[in-house]
Amino acid sequence: MMQKELRTSESLRDVRYEIRGQLAQRAYEMERQGREIISLNIGNPGLFGFRTPDTIRMAMIENLATSEAYCHQKGIFPAREAVVMQQQDRGVMDVTADDVYIGNGVSELIDLTLRALLNPGDEVLIPSPDYPLWTAAVSLNDGKPVHYPCTEENGFEPDLDQLAALVTPQTRALVVINPNNPTGAVYSRATLEGMVALAEKHGLVIFSDEIYDGMIYDGAEFIPIAPLVKNTLCGTFSGLSKVYRACGFRVGWVSFSGANGMADEYLHALDLLASLRLCSNVPGQWGVQTALGGYQSLKELISPGGRLYESRRAVIEGVAHSKYLTLLTPGGSMYAFVGVNTDELPGFNDHDFALQLLEEEQVLVAPGSSFNVDYTDHFRITTLPEAAQITDVFGRIERVLDKIKASKT
């Protein structure tokens, strides 16, 4: 019998996720050979010794006996009500538990919310650099990602005039990632107000990815976007993974506010999609109420002397001591988007550098071009390791950059 080549879906043509791509696969192969890899490509707190707060784990354990059945497709009521109370504390008074959906992490909810919205050719405005799941999910759901530049010269915030120029009759939604992954930018109130005004003018749905909402440093102010939105639909995404160091629990949520009355058909469609997958992980949902309503231990980690603060400081110092590197200091999140001075290293290529760094120094980073930008002179690292390890990493990076410099002279 003649065998035919098994082809993949054309919907994957524009989908990439280099954070777990070929470089990560090569790192896995090296680990299987017995080489110890420092993996700085993913923000995964548990890999670096961070623990989920005991109170959250206990909330799950104490409710395991009631977690063996499917729950409501939107999630258990105590979890959804906890999200409502958080939103009300922020001044968003028009949200109820019926407006909240619990998912298997924010990743699942990004897919579901876009699938319920998009028709073939519909456009979604996404920041560049972006968290590439947003771009991939738009493409997989037959939409067209349109990237609005957030340049380093502008503090990695969007230029509102450039953003406005990208709106077309096919534009359906505006994605905001704040605090930003990969850059660590924390958007100003003026920027957020301008983005809301643009979305309301054109009737665009706002999808605001705020998974790092509590992870800010040195007086930076996180401003949630939902309280600013009155005349269009706003979906706010967050979860347990980052702030509460519980990535493996796979618990995220999206809450809808603003002009919910204009979106009945859309929210019914989202409810249908949530029903088709039955429900999200039930045991993990029991941690939401305790997480949002309990002691916020993250504050100790992001303050001077705290582990996240000192690790971030080590990144800043590592860049400052380098002959080749630049950095716009991240105001939030758990990443640094490090630049390379191409005057010192002309023709620098982020993928080639990342591969050489992995092979020679056993350090895995994410090339900057993985985040849907048109330049190749940046790379992203997570700031999760201990400060001493970060200092060691920057020594390794400098050795590789010295070799690249020597090869060009």
Please tell me the predicted confidence (pLDDT) of residue 17: 63
> Tokens 């992980």 identify what position?
281
3-class secondary-structure state, position 170: coil
What secondary structure letter does DSSP report for 377?
S
126 against 24, higher pLDDT:
126
22 pLDDT exceeds 80? yes
What secondary structure letter does DSSP report for 260?
G
Please tell me the predicted confidence (pLDDT) of residue 19: 62
What secondary structure letter does DSSP report for 321?
T
Q: Which helix (H) or strand (E) holds 367?
A: strand 366-367
Closest CA to 60 of 81, 78, 86: 78
Instruction: Give residue-wise pLDDT tens across range 343-400.
Output: 999 999 999 999 999 999 999 999 999 999 999 999 999 999 999 999 999 999 999 9
- Cβ-contact 257, 285 below 8 angstroms: no
Q: What is the mean pLDDT of residues 276-299?
A: 93
For the chain, what is the mean pLDDT?
Answer: 93
Distance CA 258, CA 173 (A): 14
3-class secondary-structure state, position 300: helix
CATH number of 54-293, picked from 3.20.20.70, 1.10.287.610, 3.40.640.10, 3.30.200.20: 3.40.640.10
Residue ranges covered by each domain of the chain: 15-51+300-407, 54-293
Closest CA to 313 of 327, 293, 296, 298: 327
Under the banding of pLDDT at 50, 70 and 90, the label for residue 190 is very high
* Residue 140 CB partners (closer than 8 Å, separation 6+): 11, 12, 15, 111
Please tell me the predicted confidence (pLDDT) of residue 408: 77
Closest CA to 107 of 231, 220, 211, 229: 211
Length of the chain: 409
Distance CA 407, CA 360 (A): 15
30 alpha carbon, distance to own chain's centre: 27
Please tell me the predicted confidence (pLDDT) of residue 395: 97
Please tell me the predicted confidence (pLDDT) of residue 262: 84
3-class secondary-structure state, position 405: helix
- Cβ-contact 253, 238 below 8 angstroms: yes
| Structure-block tokens of residue 200 | 């309301």
Please tell me the predicted confidence (pLDDT) of residue 233: 96
Q: What is the mean pLDDT of residues 290-299?
A: 92
Closest CA to 302 of 185, 388, 217, 186: 217
Instruction: Give residue-wise pLDDT tens across range 225-247.
Output: 999 999 999 999 999 999 999 99
Instruction: Give residue-wise pLDDT tens across range 253-274.
Output: 999 999 888 899 999 999 999 9
- Cβ-contact 173, 135 below 8 angstroms: no
What secondary structure letter does DSSP report for 202?
H
14 pLDDT exceeds 90? no
Please tell me the predicted confidence (pLDDT) of residue 407: 87
Please tell me the predicted confidence (pLDDT) of residue 42: 87
Please tell me the predicted confidence (pLDDT) of residue 21: 75
| Structure-block tokens of residue 105 | 């992490």
Under the banding of pLDDT at 50, 70 and 90, the label for residue 313 is very high
User: Is 3.90.1150.10 the CATH number for 15-51+300-407?
Assistant: yes
Q: What is the mean pLDDT of residues 132-159?
A: 95
Please tell me the predicted confidence (pLDDT) of residue 71: 93
Distance CA 221, CA 213 (A): 10
Q: What is the mean pLDDT of residues 79-99?
A: 95
Please tell me the predicted confidence (pLDDT) of residue 20: 67
Q: What is the mean pLDDT of residues 77-97?
A: 95
